[in-house]
Structure 1
Amino acid sequence: MQSIHQLTTILREHEEVLGLIEYGSAQETDATILGDYDLFVILADNDPGVESLHFRVAGIPIDLNLRTLTQLQEMTSLEDIDAALVHGRIIHDPHSLLAGELQRIRKLPHKAACAFTEHKNAFVRHGHRHVFDKVHGRTETSPLLCRFLVNADIYWLVQSYFEVRKLPYEGEKRALNHLQDKEPELYDLIESFYGTSDLARQIELMRTMTQIVLAPAGGMWANEELLAFGHDDSKDLQRRGADIFRNLFGRQPHA
């Protein structure tokens, strides 16, 4: 295959392909594609153990997600990549099977199973604070390490914004568009972060962003605060962690 058009032409002519749904910014008709090309292929039947294929056509990364018509019809909530169907564009539907299904799917709720558990809450609050602990006192002696840590944390921080608010994360571009529209203060802070090379200023901006992102989760891990990690199904985790602390040390965690 030498082009995206050739790819979609082959799929259109395949007897098992019932439809094609593009998602993402790239379209099959684009003369040039920056980034990747995203496509759902709706099949009459498929190996249930294989959900997607990833390869390149003319150097362009292809994300080919495989779903059957039955799988579309049985969807009752959206999770992971299936959430991208909400923004999907039908480019092949010879039997007029997809338009109605896609309209129904767009009204489905996002799966609540990605709930922000007590364990995840503690893990995220600890993790983002831990970055500040690691860079503290090292900006002059280890500037490369500090830049590596703070830049990696910004990407995680954006993901955490959606996680703590139980919102779907639909990729980098949609995430930034959401912040620009719904959280302009946070968006401006991100722009300022990448607009300066002053490491101390970046860390200051990151601290402000972290407090905004983690506000619904209780903010960053505080100096005198005990956090307990466990499992996503752990209940009453922080109280149980405090009980273990008292048993080990004979005093309250914050005493």
Structure 2
Amino acid sequence: MKFEGTAEYVATDDLLVGVNAAVTLERPLLVKGEPGTGKTELAVQVAGALGLPLIEWNIKSTTRAQQGLYEYDAVSRLRDSQLGDARVHDVANYIRKGKLWQAFEAETKVVLLIDEIDKADIEFPNDLLQELDRMEFHVYETGETIRARHRPIVIITSNNEKELPDAFLRRCFFHYIRFPDEATLRRIVEVHHPDIKDALLTAALTQFYEIREQPGLKKKPSTSEVLDWLKLLLAEDLGPEDLRATSGGALPRLHGALLKNEQDVHLFERLAFMARGAGRR
């Protein structure tokens, strides 16, 4: 079972090595990188390429590790007991299976995505150590032990918003998705916009990297944002000359796709003002 990339997803050689190493070691693959660099999509593409079902567990700030295993609905059981419902005699009727349970009991091997683990409380990764290591957990209400029929391929993503515990990191194979260089980004764009003209793409990527490298930028635009920007440029039928003729020479056309906060917009407006002032001298 080897991941070799897909036609829809441009994977670098080191990323392919990381995915296949994690599969061979049977350890979770921890993928970090800037938002919008394709971390979540990687799990989708791995599942598709290997012909495996995908189970997604999207983590929020309020998510608890226990929810990934199961939840016991004591309130519903109490209500049913008051109503005389016969279901109350079987506690299993009130056990809600979590994403790990679903992955463990699947008939075939699956890809389990634990998305944006760094959104949760700092103790969240530690609370999953044993379950991800041993591939089993105990259900106290029923007394049963749930073991994985087939060890899932676990892909965990993080936007690096907070540090993860060392004990958790030790159990993972780690890969950092670097922001793509221009050649790689060109390949990514051509997958999504195969009919884009080379002159427009060259002009757009030149301006895009100039924006990303601008000192003082609060949020650098990501891969997904440049794809959205190019989609708008194509929809407006803009050419490379339109990009060169940006307002004042600094604020890019359709900049709302790239600049996502007022601080960065004001930065480029100031640059445009300074450029106009220099041009009048």
Is the TM value for this pair above 0.5? no
Larger radius of gyration: 2
TM-score by length of 1: 0.30
Please, what TM-score do these two structures have when normalized by structure 2?
0.28
